[in-house]
Amino acid sequence: MRLVKLIKEFAFSEDSRRKITLGTSVRLNAASHYLQLQENSLGNYPLTADLFAKTWVATPDSVRQWLGFEAQVVHAFEGGAQLTNVKFRLSNGTNQYYWNGTAWVISTTSWNTEIEIADNISTFPVTSKKLQVILNLSTTDREFTPKVYAVKVLYSSDIQFQEDILYRSLVRSLKASIRPRGRHIFRTTASTPTIDLKGAQKMDTPYNVSSIEGVYNNTDDPNHYTNLSASFNPSTWVITLTAPIISGKDVWIDFLWEPEVAVTTGQDYSEVEKVPCLILDSINLVDCTELAKYNTVVNRRTGMGWKVHAPLRGSLEITLIMLTDKATDQVRLADEVKRFFMNNPVLRSFGLDEEFRLWLTSEYDYGTTANRGDISTGRMGFRVVDVLFFLKEAEEFHSVERLYLTGDMNVQIGELGT
């Protein structure tokens, strides 16, 4: 299996405030973007133990192993002595763990140093594909606080970037969110306490019914005041009624359905039996640029680290085609797609656990009439903006531990203008 190395960065910026849990006497500095202890009215920091903050729970679905750990912290020193400290625990989103010297064990009282985490994170389980970092901030001097700017975790991933965006993220999101309303009408030929949507009352369109909104006796109740649906079995597609409907009545069934979502650049999904569906068509990568900034994770004990090169950034430009065999379904499906983009300004990449913006680039176009197969077609254009592709191999390196300067040195700080 081909794996790539990626970095999940928990940056303590103001933009991340809503995702961070701040414990008692710990705050996020909004101006300088770091975690710190909360000062009191006299400007002093608490000496209390076990003051903590929690990152959000990262869920990169493509993770295969956690590999490295680094915290970007500024400590206070006096006379060579370190006055502040930061320690850590890891969580799988359910339980908190610390390394006891031989294994990861559940604990809410013990803490590890950065080096202990870095040396042993490779054995932290990835079964849940979740990771959260709990930080313990402390000081021995009321005048100083540690400043934590970020925590970075190196991991191996089996991600295929475009596949992740299209199949694992976009298709999944569309299938989970889009639920157009449909209507099925038939006349009863006998008194019936149930309705079999795959049997005697089979629909003429192969909808994937997700829920029943209502069953009405339209003959006797044209205003649909009384919903006769008691329950719906999604396995058998049988609706149980609160009371039988006698023969000769017009029955209206309102339901929600899930469209098939396909990715294609051909005409494979224009056949009648594939309808109704959504097709992601004409997929193009545009506005590509290679970013300049790379990222690193270093083990401070060994000095060894990995450099993950800057990614290629671009936008996926996609045409979304809507196929239905009823004009009414086309209109309702279009409304649902519009609702999706209005309520989903970002798309979460399941493989990276990152969010990318969604932009509509062209409004709904119902410029075609039903073809010979009575297929109605509509289309919309959109972009997944600033998608990241980490295509260069990560490089191992040894960090600089000390810098010795000898001999005469001339350092020019700057020049004053006249």
CA-based radius of gyration for the chain: 29
Residue 220 CA from chain centroid, whole number: 48
49, 118, 120, 86: CA torsion to nearest 10: 0
pTM of the model: 0.84
Nearest partner of 202 among 240, 236, 179, judged by Cα: 236
Residue 320 to residue 330: CA distance in whole angstroms: 13
Structure tokens at 17: 């405030």
Q: Are 289 and 314 in contact (CB under 8 A)?
A: yes
Q: What is the CATH number of domain 4-157?
A: 2.60.120.260
**How many CB atoms are located within 10 Å of the residue 241 CB?**
18
- The verdict on whether omega for the bond into residue 276 sits within 30 degrees of 0, i.e. cis, is yes
Local confidence pLDDT in tens for the 418 residues of the chain:
789 999 999 999 999 999 999 999 999 999 999 999 999 988 899 999 999 999 999 999 999 999 999 999 999 999 889 999 999 999 999 999 999 999 999 999 999 999 999 999 999 999 999 999 999 999 999 999 999 999 999 999 999 999 999 999 999 999 999 999 999 999 999 998 999 999 989 998 989 999 999 999 999 999 999 999 999 999 999 999 999 999 999 999 999 999 999 886 444 444 444 689 999 988 999 999 999 889 999 999 999 999 999 999 999 999 999 999 888 999 999 999 999 999 999 999 999 999 999 999 998 988 655 555 578 889 999 999 999 999 999 999 998 766 566 666 565 544 444 3
Nearest partner of 380 among 333, 319, 298, judged by Cα: 319
Q: What are the residue boundaries of the structural domains of the chain, listed by start?
A: 4-157, 161-178+272-397, 181-257
Residue 416 to residues 180, 279, 413, Cα–Cα distance (Å): 68, 63, 10
Q: What is the CATH number of domain 161-178+272-397?
A: 2.40.30
